[in-house]
Amino acid sequence: MCGIVGYIGHRDAYPVVVKGLKRLEYRGYDSAGVAVINEDKLKTYKKQGKVADLEEYVQGKQLESNIGMGHTRWATHGPPSDENAHPHASSNHKLAIIHNGIIENYDAIKKELTKKGHTFTSQTDTEVLIHFIEDIKLHENCSLEEAVRLALTQVVGAYAIVVMNEDEPNTLVAARKGSPLVIGVGKGEFFLASDATPIVEYTNEVVYLNDFEIAVIKDDKLSIRNTQDVPTNPYIQTLDMELEAIEKGGFEHFMLKEICEQPRSIADCMRGRLNAADGYLRLGGIREYAKKLENADRIIIIACGTSWHAGLVAEYMFEEFCRIPVEVEYASEFRYRNPVINEGDVVIAISQSGETADTLAAIELAKSKGAIIFGVCNVVGSSISRASHEGAYTHAGPEIGVASTKAFTAQLTVLSMMALRTAHNRGTISLSKYKELLVELENIPSKVEKALQLNDEIKVISEIFKDARNFLYLGRGFNFPVALEGALKLKEISYIHAEGYPAAEMKHGPIALIDEEMPVVVIATRDKSYEKIVSNIQEVRARKGRVIAVVTEGDDVIPEMAEFVIEVPAVNEVLMPLVSVVPLQLLSYHIAVMRGCNVDQPRNLAKSVTVE
């Protein structure tokens, strides 16, 4: 959720840290801060607002140092303020910490420390943790590493932390549980971050910390132990990421860039996996447990947000082709409601970042009951990918915009391939239908490219509706989850209230909202529900609702009744969500821009929800 950056080596640390914070600002932008050891003193500077506000604040200050760390905050304990910003210092101001996560038992620890004379200047759980580490260090007369280890054996919650000590200007201590932390390994230097985006500019060799591991970087050496004080061997991986992928590349916003990247990201997702001419479809990450998936009595899909919508489309696909019953669960609800999980059940966990806290916890619950876990993630080496038995990466490339776009279509692409391959192996789909859908899937990038050409047309519609206070999105069948996703995108970045609904359910409540002020977006492409959705449009028009219809190219019926029509290329209804979602992404984007909203960093949201 928050952004963490650390550096130790031969460079000046502050420029490295602040550049890293800018790259991580999509993870949290309520406040920002840095710490360096300069002139034998630990110095911390922090400011409410964005990284640019911090830069202005520190102008003229002495920051030269070969060690430093920084943080961008997404508020949990305590509102955004200078006091609640990270880094947080200990009582004696010799120790400082940056933290992503939540310490659940911080209040009990705080009360004990208060009795010992500790005073606190913030409302955060993080400040309590650094005071706790300080208290242990002083009373146990131990090293910083040992104090951190002992403290972490007593805290409850999730954390990724980096700690500095004024008395050890050549040392950084880092640890994680439930929140991501990656260490970049350079020549005589090390970089720490909550994801790889600040690191790729300097090195492509990284170590992903595992849960309950503590890393100590000292005298140009990296050592890792767990909280039980057992050494572990660092496993160095090579980053599969280019610097250009995390730059805007001439686009005004990352979101628009990522919407426009979808033809390529979908193609990248299929590359090496699908060849329709040869009838070839393979997912290399799903081999050993493929039979478990094919023979499953039940599939449970767990996800949050946009990934949950992708899971709803997958439910339709698996049931349509594989004839396996599927349940789609919000991970946050699944983990708390004592679900019935049988040994051998298959769980598909979907997450762009691979670090979603609720999804990770749901995976652990399902594994403990004997379920087989397949992960669908974008980030290589992420926690969910490591917690899964098998899975498939989406290979969509970094997604910086908080509102997910290319991640959604990449997830749908992977899930489509999983469903088709499973159906083919089960014999629940005819060979002719299988080959037909492989061709359709292979042609999706060109269809999405064509849908993107509607941009100017959608911009005109956006101008008309940018001041609307409410939107209703309707869809049926495979397009119902698209309606949910379209509404979510609009809410996320434009702050307009929007609801997605199954079109047939409109009569069971939402129809009461419809009047001449209500824009109704209807995904009405040609499929087996086409005649029904035409009737739904007529019902909206009869109540003076303003209909924006997404239709199949060449439709000559709906244009007669809808006020605005957006034509997308013809696609098999099973795969239509990959195309029909694109105009909705563009609609939400342009409306948000016209309303003056911060498209890439919408208020109150962060990219990776790594806390509960």
- Separation in Å, CA 101 to CA 2, 73, 74, 328: 8, 10, 10, 27
Examine the residue annotation and report whether 43 is marked as an active-site residue of this protein: no
* Catalytic-labelled residue, pool 22, 46, 491, 607: 607
Q: Residue 123's CB: how many other CB atoms inside 10 A? A: 14
* Catalytic-labelled residue, pool 2, 260, 322, 377: 2
> Is 263 within 8 Å of 288 (Cβ atoms)?
no
> Is 215 within 8 Å of 223 (Cβ atoms)?
yes
> Is 398 within 8 Å of 410 (Cβ atoms)?
no
- Separation in Å, CA 403 to CA 153, 516, 605: 36, 29, 9
In this structure, what token pair is assigned to residue 241?
Answer: 């990421």
> Is 201 within 8 Å of 189 (Cβ atoms)?
no
- Going by DSSP bridges, is the β-strand pair 564-568/88-89 parallel, antiparallel, or unpaired? unpaired
Provide the 8-state DSSP code for 40: T
Cα torsion 260, 261, 262, 263 to 10°: value is 100
Query: How many CA atoms lie less than 13 Å away from 471 in the CB half-sphere?
Result: 31
Q: Residue 362's CB: how many other CB atoms inside 10 A? A: 27
Examine the residue annotation and report whether 292 is marked as an active-site residue of this protein: no
Determine whether 243 is exposed, middle or buried from the number of CB atoms within 10 Å of its CB (0-12, 13-18, 19+). Answer: exposed
SS (H, E, C) 306-336: HHHHHHHHHHHHHHHHHCCCEEEEEHHHHCC
- Catalytic (active-site) positions: 2, 607
